[in-house]
Amino acid sequence: MLEEKKIVLNADEKEVVERRSKDLFFAVKKLNDWVQSDSLTEEMRETLPTLVNRHLDDIKACVGFTGEEPDHLKQMTKSLNKAREEQIAELEKIVESKNSILTVKQQLKEITDKINNWWDVKGFNYIKDITFLENGIIVVNFGFMLNSLSLRFSDTPNSDKKAAEEKFQRFIDNGYIFAKSESSCDRDLIDCKVNRNLLSALIKSSFPSAKITKWENHIYLNKGPDQDSFYLRSFKVYIYNYEDIVNL
In a domain? residue 95: no
Residue 114: how many other CB atoms lie within 10 Å: 13
Q: Which of 89, 202, 93, 97 is nearest to 144 (CA)?
A: 202
> Does 127 have pLDDT greater than 90?
yes
Based on the structure, what is the number of domains in the chain?
2
In a domain, 241, yes or no: yes
Do 147 and 239 belong to one domain? yes
Q: What is the DSSP letter of 59?
A: H
10-66 pLDDT, tens digit per residue, is: 888 888 888 888 988 988 898 898 889 998 898 888 888 888 888 888 888 888 887
Q: Which domain holds residue 185?
A: 106-246
pLDDT of residue 153: 55
Same domain, 139 and 53: no
Give 164's pLDDT tier (boundaries 50, 70, 90): confident
Predicted confidence at residue 106, as pLDDT, reads: 83
pLDDT 10s digits, 72-92: 666 777 777 787 787 777 766
Chain-centre distance of CA 230, in angstroms? 45
What average pLDDT score do residues 118-144 get? 92
Q: Give domain status of residue 118, yes or no.
A: yes
The pLDDT assigned to 160 comes to 72
Whether 119 and 55 share a structural domain: no
215 and 154 within one domain? yes
